[in-house]
Every structure is written in C-alpha cells, then in structure tokens.
C-alpha cells in the first residue's frame, strides 16, 4: 500500500460511499486517551493473540515497542542476505514481520473509537486542544 499525500486523503474523504480511515498519529491519539494508546496497551493486544512467535519476539527483544521489534526483524533479514543464508529462515523472518505489522494494525483498530459519535465530549475537547497546539507548531 502506498502512502497518500494530503490532497489524496482530502479527495478520499469527499468521495461518497467509499470507506476510509485516517491515522493522525500517536500525539493525537495520546491527547484522546493517554492510557490506551501506549506501547504497553498495544502490547497487551499481542499478549491476547494466539501467536506464540510474536509473543516470543517481544520477549527476546525485551520491549513492548512494535517498532523496535520490527527493526530487529528487518536487520536480521538483511543479515541473512549478507551472509548468504539459504533456506526458509529469511522467509520465516519476513512472515513474522508481516504478522507483526498486521497485528499492530488490528490493535490500533481495536483500540480506536469506531466513529466520532462514540467519543465523549471531554475527549473531543482534548483532541481539539491538541489540534490547536499542532496548528501553532
């Protein structure tokens, strides 16, 4: 999937009948709900999955940070290339990386509110305040 530029996103939003999602980033999410949009909360989602490989990867790397685990997997895959390793090792690493990406997306979807009408007014105010600060920067 390629990343859309701002004008493409605006056009997608205007298009009727087409489902879309817009990820604003962790700063915005933290303004919405600082207790659920943390690495620990996202990692809790991984702990509940029936995927022992992903759980083991987080334990081996010693973090709850998805990005650090992903970086380690990418480095390991590159090392396989550099060392000329043959067989299924690199494929297993890349499969784990894809599982990790998919799990992160699933976790974010599960934690984010479904639509604006499920967000309490106080949370909307926190998001608006974040937007004002972001516009100032």
Distance CA 46, CA 107 (A): 8
pLDDT digits (tens, 9 = 90+) for 84-114: 987 799 999 999 999 999 988 888 787 776 6
Q: Which residues contact 80 (CB under 8 A, 6 or more apart)?
A: 89, 90, 93
Q: What is the reported pLDDT for 65?
A: 86
Q: What is the reported pLDDT for 40?
A: 76
Angle at 12 between CA 9 and CA 15, to 5 degrees: 155
Residue range 39-51: average pLDDT?
79
pLDDT digits (tens, 9 = 90+) for 1-15: 566 676 776 677 776
């Amino acid at each position: 999937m390629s990343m859309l530029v701002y004008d493409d996103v605006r056009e997608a939003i205007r298009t009727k009948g087409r489902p879309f999602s817009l990820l604003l980033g962790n700063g915005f999410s933290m303004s919405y709900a600082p207790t659920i949009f943390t690495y620990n909360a996202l990692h809790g989602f991984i702990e509940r999955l029936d995927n022992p490989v992903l759980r083991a990867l987080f334990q081996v790397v010693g973090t709850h940070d998805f990005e650090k685990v992903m970086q380690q997997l990418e480095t390991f895959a590159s090392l396989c290339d550099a060392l000329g390793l043959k067989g299924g090792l690199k494929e297993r690493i890349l499969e784990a990386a894809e599982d990790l990406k998919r799990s992160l997306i699933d976790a974010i979807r599960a934690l984010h509110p479904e639509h604006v009408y499920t967000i309490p007014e106080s949370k909307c105010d926190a998001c608006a305040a974040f937007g004002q600060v972001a516009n100032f920067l």
